[in-house]
Structure 1
Amino acid sequence: MDLKSLKTFHRIVALGSFHRAAEELNYAQSTVTMQMQKLEAELGITLIERGKTFQLTEAGRLFHEQSAGIMKEIDRLQGRMSDWMLGETGELRLGAVEPIASFVLPRLLQAFLTAYPKIGIAVDIGSTPLLGERLLRGELDLAVCSRPVIGEGLYFEPLFSEELVFLLPEGHPLSALERIPFRELRDHRILLTAKNCPYRHKVEMLLGEACGSPLNSMEISSMAAMKHYVACGLGIALVPRSLLTPLPPGTLVREVQDDRVSVTFGLLCRAADMPLKLALGRLNEFLKAKLLQDQDSLSPAAR
């Protein structure tokens, strides 16, 4: 069944005239007549009585009633496909590492989904290597993560750096120092994140160079929980500055005396998908703009 003919039939019924339907659809009246003849031939029934006044046959009334739902679904589908072509609808799978997933992404996604309410997003939280693997397997569309060891098939765009600072419990022996060198940590317990955390490798490398090994350490797999372990006096942690708003009661922040320590983050996707388009392109550009804006507001000059 020709969809154009079906749509024309419903407009004829709605407007009560072949002529008015032709004007609305921008067709010649002969085209409307031919479409109705074709539709009736396909169905093997007469739908519209031919005469001075417009009138549906009994079969025409039944066909109109039964096909009304089909027309609504077709209109809805055409609208959805139009939105999809404009990048205003779609289902996206976004990966993210901690602490960005917990402390940065919710606010950004709330703003994005307010602007594009027809786009659906599923968030998967994991380590950078895991997110990269899932991208390559087609299980994710985009990821916010630390700089990966780029392999074939991935594209990473660095966007911002997270500065690391020391978080200490009040009364800690090192709290008298405004800036703490890594060598001073040799005799103190260090709280470390999970082994797959992007900060863990960076921290262990710096501590290993300054303090040697083995380290007096305690692993806390949740970055969100880390500050509460510090507040209870279990040790000192090197954490991203963004994690410390608000600062947990019973804790102090101290700068790193050595060179500024930071971890670079950005957006990771499949190289074959570049340039990103449609809804994925909208999400990519939105996150890029917001993350760069956040970096400007968190820069040392802005604080």
Structure 2
Amino acid sequence: MDLKELVAFQTIVQEKTFSRAAEKLNYAQSTITNQIQRLEKELGIQLFKRGWDVQLTPAGQIFAAEVDHLIRHWNNTAELARSLQQDEVGTLRIGGIESAIHRILPDAIRQLQQQKPRITCQITTGNTDRLIEELQSDRLDFAICGSPADASAFYFDPLYEEKIVLVADYNHPLCHSVSASFEDILDYPLTAGGPTCLYHLQFAKYLSCYRKSPALIHSVTPISMIPHMLRHTAAVGVVLESTSLIPGIQQLDLKLGLSPIPVGLLQLRQTYYSPESAAGLLQQIIRGPIQK
């Protein structure tokens, strides 16, 4: 059974004769007759009573009542298949560290929707280690995160670098000091991201270079909460430079001897997205404003 046979049957029912149906469809009458014979053979039923007039059999009447629905379903399915082939329908599974999600994805997804309006996005926030696990388990298409410790199975495309900075309440003594050093920071409680934070390992190694230990270390996840935890306290916060600060919290004028942390697009090495695909297009959009 194919669409032409269904349309031929529908047109015969509408036009009441084989000849008018053939004329409307621009077919020879023999073509219409052959199509109906094939349809009857495939269905295993007789659709028309034999004779000069077009008369439906009881089975043909039941089929005629459903043929419009069958043709619409056929056309809708074909349209959906064409859309899927063009990557215009589906779901993108995107992961990202917290700072990247807030900084990059909202505008990028809005731009994607203008070109791929039938694409939906499923966004997962997590640390780099968790996002790596999601990629390996095929639960993400790609992620925006730090570079993996073992990059053999991944392709990492750097986008920008994150700097680690120190922040504190505006009334903190160190906010008004012009000669403060990092050792001075260690006299106060520290509030930093937990073990899964992008900078945790690097900052922990940095602390180990000092004989003096911090007064106290509070662990907070996500790090966007750290500025809120510092209000009206003597604690010093360790955050990424992209972290949004709230009124009353400011960055300390103190340089840390820490290397910037690369953040980029991460996907499995064997995965490739064409520029025309939704995933490929979104990656291009993400790269665009960052590289300017």
TM-score range, shorter chain: 0.7 to 0.9
Q: Which residue of 2 aligns with 1:271?
A: 269
Residue 161 of structure 1 contacts residue 295 of structure 1 at CA under 8 Å; is this kept in 2? no
- Following TM superposition, the consecutive aligned residue runs of length 4 or more in structure 1 with deviations greater than 6 angstroms are none
Q: Which residue of 2 aligns with 1:40?
A: 40
1:166-187 C-alpha deviation (Å, 9 max, x unpaired):
2211121211246965344222
**Equivalent runs, 1:131-280 vs 2, <5 Å:** 131-177=131-177, 181-209=181-209, 211-212=210-211, 214-215=213-214, 216-233=216-233, 235-244=235-244, 247-258=245-256, 261-273=259-271, 275-277=272-274
**Equivalent runs, 1:34-183 vs 2, <5 Å:** 34-43=34-43, 44-47=45-48, 51=52, 59-177=59-177, 181-183=181-183
- 1:219, CA displacement in angstroms? 0.6
Residue 88 of structure 1 contacts residue 278 of structure 1 at CA under 8 Å; is this kept in 2? no
Change (3 A) 1:2 1:115: closer
Match for residue 22 of structure 2 among 1, 18, 39: 18
Residue 160 of structure 1 contacts residue 291 of structure 1 at CA under 8 Å; is this kept in 2? no
The one-letter code sitting in structure 2 at the alignment partner of 1:99 is S
Unaligned runs of 5+ in 2: none
Unaligned runs of 5+ in 1: 297-303
- What RMSD, in angstroms, separates the aligned Cα atoms of the two structures? 3.1
**Counterpart-to-counterpart distance in 2, 1:289 and 1:295:** 11
Greater mean alpha carbon deviation, residues 3-12 or residues 81-90? 3-12
Which secondary structure state, in structure 1, belongs to the residue aligned with residue 168 of structure 2?
Answer: strand
Change (3 A) 1:86 1:48: farther
Which secondary structure state, in structure 1, belongs to the residue aligned with residue 163 of structure 2?
Answer: strand
**Counterpart-to-counterpart distance in 2, 1:13 and 1:262:** 74
Find the structure with the greater CA-based Rg: 2
**Counterpart-to-counterpart distance in 2, 1:180 and 1:276:** 49
Q: TM-score scaled by structure 2?
A: 0.82
Which secondary structure state, in structure 1, belongs to the residue aligned with residue 66 of structure 2?
Answer: helix
1:242-266 C-alpha deviation (Å, 9 max, x unpaired):
222xx41111123542467532111
Greater mean alpha carbon deviation, residues 252-261 or residues 163-172? 252-261
Change (3 A) 1:217 1:130: same
- 1:207, CA displacement in angstroms? 3.4
**Counterpart-to-counterpart distance in 2, 1:105 and 1:31:** 56
The one-letter code sitting in structure 1 at the alignment partner of 2:231 is A
How many residues of Structure 1 are paired with residues of Structure 2 in the alignment? 286
The one-letter code sitting in structure 1 at the alignment partner of 2:249 is T
- 1:287, CA displacement in angstroms? 3.6
The one-letter code sitting in structure 1 at the alignment partner of 2:135 is L
1:254-294 C-alpha deviation (Å, 9 max, x unpaired):
35424675321111112222x21488x42343244334414
Residue 155 of structure 1 contacts residue 271 of structure 1 at CA under 8 Å; is this kept in 2? yes
**Counterpart-to-counterpart distance in 1, 2:82 and 2:250:** 54
**Counterpart-to-counterpart distance in 1, 2:29 and 2:150:** 62
Which secondary structure state, in structure 1, belongs to the residue aligned with residue 167 of structure 2?
Answer: strand
Q: Could you tell me the percent identity over the aligned residues?
A: 24
Residue 147 of structure 1 contacts residue 265 of structure 1 at CA under 8 Å; is this kept in 2? yes
Which secondary structure state, in structure 1, belongs to the residue aligned with residue 208 of structure 2?
Answer: helix
Which secondary structure state, in structure 1, belongs to the residue aligned with residue 242 of structure 2?
Answer: helix
**Counterpart-to-counterpart distance in 2, 1:94 and 1:9:** 47
Greater mean alpha carbon deviation, residues 5-14 or residues 181-190? 5-14
Which secondary structure state, in structure 1, belongs to the residue aligned with residue 266 of structure 2?
Answer: strand
Residue 97 of structure 1 contacts residue 145 of structure 1 at CA under 8 Å; is this kept in 2? yes
Greater mean alpha carbon deviation, residues 78-87 or residues 176-185? 176-185
Change (3 A) 1:291 1:187: farther
Q: Which residue of 1 aligns with 2:282?
A: 286
**Counterpart-to-counterpart distance in 2, 1:253 and 1:160:** 20
Residue 84 of structure 1 contacts residue 278 of structure 1 at CA under 8 Å; is this kept in 2? no
**Counterpart-to-counterpart distance in 2, 1:180 and 1:4:** 83
1:151-202 C-alpha deviation (Å, 9 max, x unpaired):
4432221111223332211121211246965344222222111211112223
Higher helix share: 1
Q: Which residue of 2 aligns with 1:299?
A: none
**Counterpart-to-counterpart distance in 2, 1:293 and 1:179:** 37
